[in-house]
């Protein structure tokens, strides 16, 4: 565990080496500003927006994951281009340890960012346990997203194309908010759908146990699958 934490800290420092990646560190601050100040002002001015507050909260929670989705994707793609990944393939720790070390800080920082966002948003009273559940659930997007992209792409150019595609995929289930109730679950094969529905239930005072359980299982299986594929391709 000590070895994993040491490597995780070294990897996290790579974020601050690239000025183009450092700019993304302001994204959570922008999101907080929009939720705390901009959105309440807009709701006061335009009453019809009240019906879409849960949608705005879902989007903010998902967008909080994009900070490390992008940064970690770029760091791993750079490793592959510079052949550093081959070195990691022969160092004295397992590939599973490598994955855990890579996503230790990105995962838990994303959890913290969303926990803070949900806690201080001014529209709903949400219990700490539900807040933590949603935050832990949503942060799973980060390793799945990054490992998925790095299983497919070979260089930064391809990476930018797939990042745009993945960004659209995680937001597609937003459409479930605007279709008749009987058609909503057609979006269930998108992993983020279960996060969206959990947040919606939360804002309506409905139990999130079923949605969150399905979501955790779905994302857990997906994380295992992309991890296996990543380990087959990243270190060669």
pLDDT in tens, 32-52: 999 999 999 999 999 899 989
Q: How many Cβ atoms are within 10 Å of 189's Cβ, its own excluded?
A: 9
CA–CA distance, 117 with 168 (Å, rounded to integer): 22
pTM exceeding 0.85: yes
Q: If you average pLDDT over every residue of the chain, what do you get? A: 85
Pick the range with the lowest mean pLDDT from 38-47, 136-145, 160-169, 227-236.
227-236
Q: How many independent structural domains does the chain possess?
A: 1
Nearest to 137 by CA among 209, 224, 229: 209
Average pLDDT score over residue span 45-67? 91
> Helix or strand or coil: residue 77?
helix
Structure confidence at residue 80 (pLDDT) = 78
Q: Which domain holds residue 45?
A: 2-233
Instruction: Tell whether the torsion through CA atoms of 12, 17, 20 and 24 is positive or negative.
Output: positive
For residue 169, pLDDT over 90 is answered with no
- What's the burial of 188, exposed, middle or buried (CB within 10 Å: 0-12/13-18/19+)? middle
Nearest to 133 by CA among 145, 118, 148: 118
Percent of the residues in the chain that have a pLDDT greater than 90, as a whole number: 42
Query: Is 63 within 8 Å of 192 (Cβ atoms)?
Result: no
For residue 220, pLDDT over 90 is answered with yes
Structure confidence at residue 89 (pLDDT) = 58
Pick the range with the lowest mean pLDDT from 121-130, 140-149, 173-182.
173-182
For residue 85, pLDDT over 80 is answered with no
Q: Please give the structure tokens belonging to residue 44.
A: 């006061």
For residue 159, pLDDT over 80 is answered with yes
Nearest to 170 by CA among 200, 149, 189, 192: 192
Pick the range with the lowest mean pLDDT from 94-103, 145-154, 189-198.
94-103
CA–CA distance, 8 with 106 (Å, rounded to integer): 9
For residue 139, pLDDT over 90 is answered with yes
Structure confidence at residue 210 (pLDDT) = 92
Structure confidence at residue 135 (pLDDT) = 96
Query: Is 135 within 8 Å of 109 (Cβ atoms)?
Result: no
Query: Is 80 within 8 Å of 154 (Cβ atoms)?
Result: yes
Helical ranges in the chain per DSSP H: 2-13, 19-22, 27-33, 39-45, 53-81, 84-88, 95-120, 128-139, 141-152, 156-171, 193-204, 209-233
Structure confidence at residue 180 (pLDDT) = 84
pLDDT-based confidence at 227, cuts 50/70/90? very high
For residue 86, pLDDT over 80 is answered with no
Contacts of 186 (CB under 8 A, 6+ apart): 179
CA–CA distance, 69 with 94 (Å, rounded to integer): 23
Q: Please give the structure tokens belonging to residue 195.
A: 């996060």
Average pLDDT score over residue span 99-114? 90
Structure confidence at residue 232 (pLDDT) = 83
Structure confidence at residue 213 (pLDDT) = 94
Task: Spell out a b/e string for 161-175, using b for 16 or more CB atoms within 10 Å of the CB, else e.
Answer: ebbeebeeebbebbe
Structure confidence at residue 211 (pLDDT) = 92
21 against 229, higher pLDDT? 229
pLDDT-based confidence at 223, cuts 50/70/90? very high
CA–CA distance, 13 with 97 (Å, rounded to integer): 18
């Amino acid at each position: 565990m000590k070895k994993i934490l040491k490597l995780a800290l070294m990897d996290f420092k790579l974020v601050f080496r690239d000025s183009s990646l450092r700019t993304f560190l302001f994204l959570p601050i922008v999101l907080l500003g929009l939720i705390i100040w901009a959105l309440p002002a807009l709701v006061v001015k335009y009453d019809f927006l009240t019906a879409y507050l849960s949608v705005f909260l879902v989007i903010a929670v998902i967008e909080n994951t994009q900070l490390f989705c992008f940064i970690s994707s770029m760091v791993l793609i750079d490793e592959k281009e510079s052949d550093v990944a081959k070195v990691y393939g022969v160092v004295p720790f397992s590939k599973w340890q490598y994955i855990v070390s890579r996503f230790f800080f990105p995962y838990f920082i994303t959890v913290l960012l969303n926990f803070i966002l949900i806690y201080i948003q001014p529209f709903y009273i949400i219990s700490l346990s539900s807040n933590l559940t949603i935050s832990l659930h949503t942060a799973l997007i980060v390793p799945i997203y990054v490992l998925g992209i790095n299983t497919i792409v070979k260089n930064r150019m391809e990476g930018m194309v797939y990042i745009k595609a993945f960004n659209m995929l995680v937001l597609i289930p937003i459409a479930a908010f605007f279709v008749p109730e009987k058609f909503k679950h057609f979006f269930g094969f998108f992993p983020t759908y279960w996060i969206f529905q959990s947040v919606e239930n939360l804002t309506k005072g409905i139990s999130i146990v079923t949605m969150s359980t399905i979501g955790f299982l779905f994302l857990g299986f997906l994380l295992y699958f992309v991890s296996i594929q990543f380990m087959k391709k990243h270190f060669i």
